[in-house]
Amino acid sequence: MSRRRNVQQEGLEGPPPEERKRPIGRRNSQGIRIDPEVEAEPEPRRTTISAYVENEPGVLARVSGLFHRRQFNIESLTVGPTQNEGYSRITLVVEEPDPGIDQIQKQLEKLIPVIHVRELDRNPVARELIILKVDGEEPDKVQAITDMYDGEALDAGPETVTVQITGSEEKIDDAIDAFKQFNIREIARTGQAALARGAEETARVEERHT
Amino acid sequence: MSGERTRKVQNAETASDATGIENGADAVVRALENAGVKHLFGIQGGAIMPVYDAIYDSEMNHITMAHEQGAVHAADAYGIVTGEPGVCMATSGPGATNLVTGIADANMDSDPLVALTGQVPTDVVGNDAFQETDAVGITSPVTKANTFADDPDSVGTDVGTAFALAKHGRQGPTLVDLPKDVTKGETETDPGGPTLPETYDSPEAADPDAVSGAAATIRKAERPVILAGGGVIKAEASDELRAFAMEHEIPVVTTMPGTGSFPEDHELSMEIVGMHGTGYANMAITVTDCLLAVGTRFDDRLTGGVETFAPDAEVIHIDIDPAEVSKNIEADHPLIGDAKAVLDQLADAMTGSPSTGAWLEQCETWKEEYSMEYAAPEDEPVKPQYVVERFDEATPEDTIVTAGVGQHQMWAWQYWTWTQPRTWVTSHGLGAMGYGLPGAIGAKLAAPDREVVCFDGDGSFLMTCQELSVAVREDLDITVVVLNNEAIGMVRQWQDVFFGQRHMASDYPWIPEFDTLAEAFGARGFRIDTDEEVEGVIEEALAYDGPSVVDVHIDPGEKVYPMVPGGGDNGLFALTEEQL
């Protein structure tokens, strides 16, 4: 083949950067073409993602490792067995802009033990559980607050009362505020568990993944 | 060597039954044989010994490497050249951890690779036993899939599945961790051929509506560009890509892994793009109004800052992995599927060609303005670009070129004329120095009848030069060209520009004489100090039937240009240090 590059004394030539005619368009940091005059960066939003997974050792480590190394912002993660032996459901609450939420689902789908992933719509059936241990000096008042939140006393002794509250994330947050008056000693809070509302399936169990 | 051994399968009296399999290790070996594996690259060790014992009876060729990193890079290169997964193996603990760099490299470049690691017996796993590491845990972030084999009856299937997963869909590395009691455990089960997991599926054809939309966009484009990535080569779609580009007269730029997917001696080739790509390729990809990207993940070394990457372009992205589409650059037309199949679909969907006459003229102007020239005054030391060009001229077109990572890699990439896929074998995404020599060993075993030239830097070569012992022992006819500037040259180049010429830990004045070193290993050593010596030494080194090392003392002041600084605007590539 003939040489296509010439050996010259000068080296690389051509119009310098400032003389080049270049486009005026722009993309944002997500690589989306934008009008820089009007469009701002997309805002993060909070959403629930449900993953139906094979219940094999290490699956949780794979999922949490993925979130860590790709810097996805995760609010909570719960995992537990399903009605189908050998399969678990992982429920994730995440806060990301739309491209991030899209990328989370695609990356989860790539994990071999993950059967199906979907974002639940804005109104899933979702619950959290919290166990609170507070000072036991005013058990009647503790019981009253617990009743207000449809909770249940689990343990009471001379020093402490321990109660459980279940409900939406907002309700749990409210309850924690209400119990602060009794000096909260310890909290154990699950993440969110969620299913799609109505007859809609949360996971397409037969779904093959790519 | 295998001919001297007594083959277990041929001895009916010792074989346990019709399968000839007695234990898990036999099943592992059978799975590899069933997958058509011919070469294994590895190093022995305590926990993997049962598997090696089973290989004793196999006709597969095991290459004992000098270091596990050499084994995994060699297997990786074997996979790049053949398209079939390369197989490397190592013992537990340090054996496994020494593989990690090469596994991560294969993961970044979607190279088909199977790694087999020995593991301590299952009853002591978790006890911090001698040479115990959590190989599955360590490699999870850098494998497509990995698994801990826990049953002699299924260990062979685990290996077969790993092979199938490495090869199919988006290719990548897989690992099977093999505890010693599992490979020693009794089984007679033949694992059969490589089988994908039932739940695994990979897209073939893209959504026809999306294809139509993409075709219409290309049809009306004024400044279309095809961006060919490594996926074109992985999908064996070079012919389809070439036909599409020629039919519709669309210029082509290639990413580093995509290099060779489109012939650079064709007039539509704008050659290589990105940080050290050609000026004309970077102009074209900046100004384009329609980017047909095939099998690329829009790495930052390609895009520069995404804000200024092809900002006027409607992007059509063909990729087999949905997660790559709109990950870094939003795709206006996502075409999820196998590149070969989707390019066929796209070709069928085209109702006419875009009018690219004026655009091709513009591209030609850029090619002239920014032609890849280097200064080579007579009184200066040897220029690395000159050495690359002379080797290119002296070797056949199907020559395989491997490289380490750094300046030498960029010069090889820039000044070799790439015309065929699977000829450019290096560490692209991970940038793992030391890849070149073990890569050349793997490439030579994959293509014994082809010329293999490794361009290396002095820094990269020092990381894995012990693999010369393997090349000598296996009598591999490879030529290693060390472009020696007595420095970690790319770091020094950056220090010159970005760190006020403070050469911290980048100068290597204590560099050994590589020609003498080569001779100590039993290879031929050559040295070049002047332009006049270049042609003669090249001729002699290529003619030598065995491994040779050419130590070329190049101009230490030579830099790699053009250059787009990290996160910069591709259209503002610098031609000189002053323009940065």
Q: Are residues B229 and B302 in the same domain?
A: yes
**pLDDT 10s digits, B314-346:** 999 999 999 999 999 999 999 999 999 999 999
Domain with CATH 3.30.70.1150 in chain A: 125-194
Q: What share of chain B is helix, strand, coil (3-state, %, to 5)?
A: 40, 15, 40
Classify residue B56: in a domain, yes or no. Answer: yes
How much is the pLDDT for B507? Answer: 94
Mean pLDDT of B474-491: 98
Q: Which residue on chain A is closest to B196 by alpha carbon?
A: A112
How much is the pLDDT for B574? Answer: 97
CB contact, 8 Å: B134 with chain A?
Answer: no
Across the interface, of A3, A28, A209, the residue whose CB is closest to B199 is A209
Going by C-alpha positions, the residue among B520, B436, B518, B522 that lies closest to residue B473 is B522
Catalytic, B130? Answer: yes
Q: Domain A125-194 class?
A: alpha beta
Q: How far apart are CA B120 and CA B46, in angstroms?
A: 9
Classify residue B374: in a domain, yes or no. Answer: no
CB contact, 8 Å: A27 with chain B?
Answer: yes
Catalytic, B131? Answer: yes
Q: Place B17 in a pLDDT band, splitting at 50, 70 and 90.
A: low
Are residues A20 and B201, on separate chains, in Cβ contact within 8 Å? no
End residue of a domain, out of B369, B401, B436: B369
Q: What residues 140-159 of chain B have any CB closer than 8 A to a CB of chain A?
A: 140-141, 144-145, 148
Domain covering A45-119 in this structure, CATH number: 3.30.70.260
Classify residue B200: in a domain, yes or no. Answer: no
Answer whether B90's CB lies under 8 Å from B118's CB: yes
Catalytic, B180? Answer: yes
Residue type, B286: T
Q: Are residues B468 and B403 in the same domain?
A: yes
DSSP class of residue B83 equals S
Q: Are residues B154 and B224 in the same domain?
A: no
Min Cα–Cα distance to chain B from A13, Å: 6
Are residues A31 and B397, on separate chains, in Cβ contact within 8 Å? no
Min Cα–Cα distance to chain A from B498, Å: 18
Q: What residues 142-161 of chain A have any CB closer than 8 A to a CB of chain B?
A: none
Q: Are residues B349 and B239 in the same domain?
A: yes
Contacts of B449 (CB under 8 A, 6+ apart): none
In the numeric block, the tokens 């409900």 are attached to A167
Per-residue pLDDT of chain A (210 residues; tens, 9 = 90+): 334 555 666 789 999 999 999 898 999 989 999 887 777 778 999 999 999 999 988 899 999 999 999 999 999 999 999 999 999 999 999 999 999 999 999 999 999 999 999 999 878 999 999 999 999 999 999 999 999 999 999 999 999 999 999 999 999 999 999 999 999 999 999 999 999 999 888 887 654 444
- CATH number, domain at B152? 3.40.50.970
Q: How far apart are CA B103 and CA B144, in angstroms?
A: 10
How much is the pLDDT for B6? Answer: 46
Q: How far apart are CA B252 and CA B363, in angstroms?
A: 11
Task: List, in sequence order, every residue forming a beta bridge with A186; answer none if it has no partner.
Answer: A133
Q: Are residues B351 and B467 in the same domain?
A: no
Classify residue B462: in a domain, yes or no. Answer: yes
CA triplet B161, B165, B167: central angle to 5 degrees?
Answer: 120
**pLDDT 10s digits, B541-574:** 999 999 999 999 999 999 999 999 999 999 999 9
ipTM, interface predicted TM-score of the complex:
0.89
CB contact, 8 Å: A11 with chain B?
Answer: yes
Q: What would the two tokens of residue B245 be?
A: 């580009």
Query: Regarding predicted confidence, which is higher, A210 or B184?
Result: B184
Across the interface, of B202, B264, B579, the residue whose CB is closest to A16 is B579
State the residue range of the domain holding B29: 2-184
How much is the pLDDT for A5? Answer: 57
- CATH number, domain at B228? 3.40.50.1220
Q: Are residues B159 and B284 in the same domain?
A: no
Are residues A110 and B203, on separate chains, in Cβ contact within 8 Å? no
Report the domain count for chain B: 3
Catalytic residue among B68, B240, B314, B467: B68
Are residues A209 and B327, on separate chains, in Cβ contact within 8 Å? no
How much is the pLDDT for A7? Answer: 61
| B142, pLDDT greater than 60 | yes
How much is the pLDDT for A123? Answer: 86
- Other CB atoms within 10 Å distance of the CB of residue B36: 11
Are residues A12 and B279, on separate chains, in Cβ contact within 8 Å? yes
How much is the pLDDT for B508? Answer: 86
Domain with CATH 3.30.70.260 in chain A: 45-119
Catalytic, B1? Answer: no
How much is the pLDDT for B329? Answer: 97
Q: How far apart are CA A31 and CA B330, in angstroms?
A: 5
